[in-house]
Amino acid sequence: MPGDKVYIVGVAPEGVSSLGPEARRLVDRADLVFGGSRLLDMFPSLAGEKITISKNLDKVTDTIKSNLGRKRIVVLASGDPNFYGIASYLTAKLGRDTVEVVPNVSAMQIAFARIKESWEDAALVSVHGRPIEDIVGTVRSNHKIGIFTGDEHTPGEIARVLLENGVDGYRAYVCQNLGEKDEAVIKTDLPGLRERNFAPLNTVILLKDQPKGLTRPSRPRYLGIPDEEFQQRRPKEGLITKQEVRAVSLAKMRLGEESILWDIGAGSGAVSIEASFLARKGRIYAIEKNDTDVAIIKKNIRKFRAANVTVVPTFAPDNLDKLPDPTAVFIGGSGGRMEEILDLVCRRLKPGGRIVINIVALENLTAAVKALRARGFNPDVTLVNAARSTNVMELTRLEALNPVFVVTGVPASSLAR
């Protein structure tokens, strides 16, 4: 067992008996053994020094670094250390050549075995140390979900958040104290899950009540939702980014699964809603100053169940300092504050990000192009000039929509690379 390696050893709920001969040898011969208090208690007769891991990961990392090459080091982890475990953290801090991972059976595997369900088609997530709201979209779009819980994000809290976001119709299984004498599997539904208390050590599995393939998607899976599907303040006056312009604008944003979008001047929220389909693991911030429109955006969020859209009621660029840096910014309306908005978003935009602006007036187009160039961005301009068919008596004619300039700003530095 070389002293220049850190061995991360997975321990199944059964404890010591779950280790293979090689893993057991590594633990028994270690000079320093790190782990959570529950895992360390499983090894009462260790000769090496035990060091508890709690919320002291920085200190643990420093201790490991200072003892590399001098002492034999083992880190105990629950189940598979690479599955929502400590392995990714230590690998990033110590380097891949320093770390060796010895996996074991995950509590998630055991939980699915206990309820006699396959798990190759399950969505697997964790709320341990993560925002609980992030799982809403995952649960909504899957029929089978395994969830690692946390001290703060209990099964009851998970159920509360899901129900408040209109998610229901799932059977819920709580597998608690797996491998212990008081192991239990509790079956209920989301309302029942919300009302009960469970042992702190648990894993949650949700199964959609309806058979797979028979459920209707809870929200559209395509881009270009018809304008009339959205609630609008003044639909006849076009207070919405039109379907055709919306599609081009979203294409220019180049959103990924985990993108963060600021939608400034969100209006009805149509761009935010459709962006949420593309950035399903990301966050969309619908920024709107008009109180009536804020209420309409919230209605559209509920209708399309866009759980990863957050409404920010403010007059941009005011009060945006607490939002995470965006990977894309869409400006549908500036309220006459374009220069101020660009000052902020050009500074906050993540490397490789994009700014997309919808403009109608020629004077504003010229000003936006100049403003982007002045801030080190290369502007690209696309004119969307669309017309829709309409019936006149027994004939069909085309009715033009207002032309819209779609201006895309990309940092000149990123193009140089």
Q: How many domains does the chain have?
A: 3
For the full predicted model, state whether its pTM sits above 0.85: no
pLDDT tens, position by position, for the chain (417 residues)? Answer: 556 899 999 999 889 999 999 999 999 999 999 999 999 999 999 999 999 998 899 999 999 999 998 999 999 999 999 999 999 999 999 999 999 999 999 999 999 999 999 999 999 999 987 888 888 878 877 899 999 998 889 999 999 999 988 888 999 999 999 988 999 999 999 999 999 999 999 999 999 886 444 444 445 556 789 998 998 886 555 578 999 999 999 999 999 999 999 999 999 999 999 999 999 889 999 999 999 999 999 999 988 888 789 999 999 999 999 899 999 999 999 999 999 999 999 999 999 999 999 999 999 999 999 999 999 999 999 999 999 999 988 899 999 999 999 999 999 876 544
263 in the same domain as 399: yes
Contact 291, 315 (CB under 8 A): no
155 in the same domain as 233: no
CATH number of residue 135's parent domain: 3.30.950.10
167 in the same domain as 86: no
CA distance linking residue 295 with residue 299, whole number of Å: 6
CATH number of residue 70's parent domain: 3.40.1010.10
319 in the same domain as 277: yes
292 in the same domain as 151: no
What are 409's strand-pairing partners?
355, 379
Contact 273, 301 (CB under 8 A): yes
119 in the same domain as 148: yes
147 in the same domain as 259: no
Domain end point (choices 44, 75, 105): 105
Report the run of H or E that residue 102 belongs to, with start and end: strand 99-102
Give pLDDT, residue 216: 45
Contact 227, 270 (CB under 8 A): yes
Give pLDDT, residue 330: 98
335 in the same domain as 253: yes
Domain end point (choices 160, 176, 208): 208
Is 222 among the domain residues?
no
Provide the token pair at 208.
């959609």
- Which residue has 């998610």 as its token pair? 167
Domain end point (choices 52, 81, 105): 105
45 in the same domain as 120: no
Provide the token pair at 281.
């693991």
Is 327 among the domain residues?
yes
CA distance linking residue 4 with residue 68, whole number of Å: 5
92 in the same domain as 114: no
86 in the same domain as 118: no
Q: Residue ranges of the alpha helices (H) in 95-173?
A: 107-114, 135-140, 155-164
The domain of 409 spans: 227-416
Is 217 among the domain residues?
no
Is 213 among the domain residues?
no
- The one-character DSSP state at 90 is H
Please provide the DSSP assignment of 1-70 as one string: --TT-EEEEEE-TTGGGGS-HHHHHHHHH-SEEEE-HHHHHT-TT-SSEEEE-SS-HHHHHHHHHHHTTT
242 in the same domain as 345: yes
